[in-house]
Chain A
Amino acid sequence: MRTALRPRAGSGGGSATAPHTPEGPISTPNIAQSRPVRRPGDRLFRGAAVGSGVFIVALISAIGLFLLLQAIPSLRANQVGFLTSGVWNTTSATDLQFGILYLLWVTVATSVLALALAMPISLGIALFLTHYAPRRLARPFAYVVDLLAAVPSIIFGLWGIKVLAPTLVPVAEWLNHNLGFIPLFAEGNVTIAGGGTVFTAGVVLAVMILPIITAVSREVFERTPREHIEGALALGATKWEMLRTTVLPFGKAGYVSAAMLGLGRALGETVALYLILSATTAVPELSFFDGGATIASKIALGAAEFNNPLTAGAYIAAGLVLFLLTFVVNALARAVVAGKKEYA
């Protein structure tokens, strides 16, 4: 960056050699040549860097715009309420019917169940890794948890439906049998024995979002100022009391933000749910033992039939809702920690 210079002509006056006087020492050739001050290399490289930034901004704006443009005609042609109906029938371009109500229910139910399961566990893991695990083992242990994040979601889906679901069926049946009077544990719109329920999906999703919630919380817990911890210990607090009075209050915002990030991930998860959830057209019973599809898995299911713009537009409209949902959740996650200087 160049400074705006205002050389003061003739300021000062007599005390030193004036520029370019004949008796002055040999002038410095490498400085005085009037070269262009911005070097071409600098200009080019800077241009490339700025260009990349502009490119990203333009690309994403363009994509958002085109998505909207393609969703609008389908929404116009829609014969049912987009947000108020659960029917999804996009095969006929003349009688387009698509509503995301049921999709929304399954999306929210799986994600919230996953969050409810994952939040306490990842809090425990994060505390364990930061304050309980032996120092030498903390890093390898953290690596193990991070490995969970490296497993592709299609493998979680495969494992979830083929391996975990049969194991969970007895648990699900027990819950249904004993707690069936609570609507959430009542019979759903698919068989419990099949395993392709919100319940199974929620458990798998919980496993999938564990590493992200753990990683972010751990990072925040590690930043608890030493003085706070030592202050609490010096007052005779037990380890748990120390955690409760210093680490947890300090890390609370970070933990909430981590949970929001996990929720965002769960809302958008596609393939695992696409493999796990049993398809059904039946009306959901608002139970954990419902089947169906989430917004994301519905799009994946329908991807093969994107053969005319109106059909694709219906799915794109659903995709926009999902995008908005994750955007809001992620923005909230950022907002929670935005004001926190001590996390920086």
Chain B
Amino acid sequence: MTTAMMDLERPATGPTFQGVSAGRKAKNVLATTLVTLAFLLAVVPLVWVLWSVVEKGLEPILRADWWSHSLSGLRPYEDMGGAYHAIYGTVVQGLTTALLSVPIGVMVGVYLVEYGTGTRLARITTFMVDILTGVPSIVAGLFIYALWITIFGFSRSALAVSLALLLLMVPVVVRTTEEMLRIVPNELREASYALGIPKWKTIVKVVLPTALSGIVTGIMLGLARVMGETAPALVVGAYAPYINFNVFDGNMANLPLLMNDQFANPETAGFNRTWGAAMTLVLIIMLFNLLATVISRWSAIKK
């Protein structure tokens, strides 16, 4: 401050600024340090995990066979073959899940925001969606096991896995849709009604398009999440080391199942397959996250 120069001309009163006591200062500095450390501490595992995956998983996925071959007929110690059967499974099971859960989830969101406000059914639905949000993925697997396999008598299949994943994805889609529809200004709905456009067309042509980018972003993030899920696949799916294109029948691999299968393989081949699959999974998930960001930028409301 400016005390040095003014001292001579100044009457002998106390300093203008009393200064913060040393104790208070020390506490403030300590808090700043701890808080910053906490953040750095969170970065450590992230970098460490990703580094481990890249370090151990990069080499296997750079092999030509990785993306074009399965593990069909290979012995545990034969360090060759690839994960294409599992990549196919992960993508197809993810897309099947999306195909089933997006219409249901979006319509539930539309119901909650556009039709059900304040009704008893809406409250019950919200409650159920809340429950689903918190359901552990293994329990979602058990749910579908109980319904699809023991009651209906179907066998384990990719479809069963997708159904279990649906239980995890629907609440994500409902929540995002709900949130995005709620921030669509009412004025747009009124403008549309005032033009003599029926309610359903208003929702389909005006409200949903306005909320679209947010909804799609949410769907992409939800999809990225369910594609990394392992637990439901352990309960209602089954690993196969070969390719199976049929969603409705037979064992179908996916990347988590492949990792789980090869985790028990003590050979170098097992190591490479496990970490290679981890790397591939991380790449696919990153791709979907990136897609989400791109979509939200690209179709954001233009100004």
Binding site for B on A (CB under 8 A): 39, 41-42, 44-46, 48-57, 60, 62-63, 66-67, 70, 120-125, 127-129, 132-133, 141, 144-145, 147-148, 150-156, 158-159, 162-164, 207, 210, 214, 236, 238-241, 243, 261, 264, 267-271, 274-275, 296, 299-300, 303-304, 306, 309, 312, 315-316, 319, 322-323, 326-327, 329-330, 334
Contacts and interface: CB of A to CB of B under 8 A. Distances in A.
Nearest to B229: A152
Contact of A323 (B103, B111, B135, B203): B135
Nearest to A123: B38
B31 A270 contact: no
Given A56-B108, A158-B274, A243-B31, 4 more contacts: A154-B259, A303-B235, A319-B138, A319-B139
Interface stretch (B68-76, B80-88, B121-129): B121-129
A interface majority secondary structure: helix
A267 B143 contact: no
Contact of B145 (A132, A312, A330): A312
Contact of B124 (A57, A129, A214): A57
Nearest to A334: B130
Given A70-B146, A238-B28, A296 B125 contact: no
Contacts of B142: 67, 299, 315-316, 319
A222 to B, nearest CB: 15
B244 to A, nearest CB: 18
24 contacts: A46-B199, A50-B115, A51-B107, A52-B103, A56-B128, A57-B128, A63-B144, A63-B146, A66-B151, A125-B35, A125-B38, A125-B39, A127-B35, A127-B38, A128-B36, A148-B45, A150-B225, A152-B228, A163-B48, A240-B32, A312-B150, A316-B142, A322-B139, A327-B134
Given A50-B121, A271-B256, A124 B228 contact: no
Interface of B: 20, 24-25, 27-28, 30-32, 34-39, 41-43, 45-46, 48-50, 52-53, 103-104, 107-108, 110-112, 114-116, 121-122, 124-125, 128-139, 141-147, 150-151, 170, 174, 198-201, 203-204, 224-225, 227-231, 234-235, 256, 259-260, 263, 274-275, 278, 281-282, 285-286, 289
Contacts of B112: 53
A152 B130 contact: no
B136 A240 contact: no
A-B residue pairs, 5 tightest by C-beta: A268-B136, A124-B38, A152-B228, A45-B200, A330-B134
B259 A158 contact: yes
Contacts of B27: 238, 240-241
Contact of A210 (B30, B42, B124, B282): B42
A159 B49 contact: yes
A215 to B, nearest CB: 12
Nearest to A163: B52
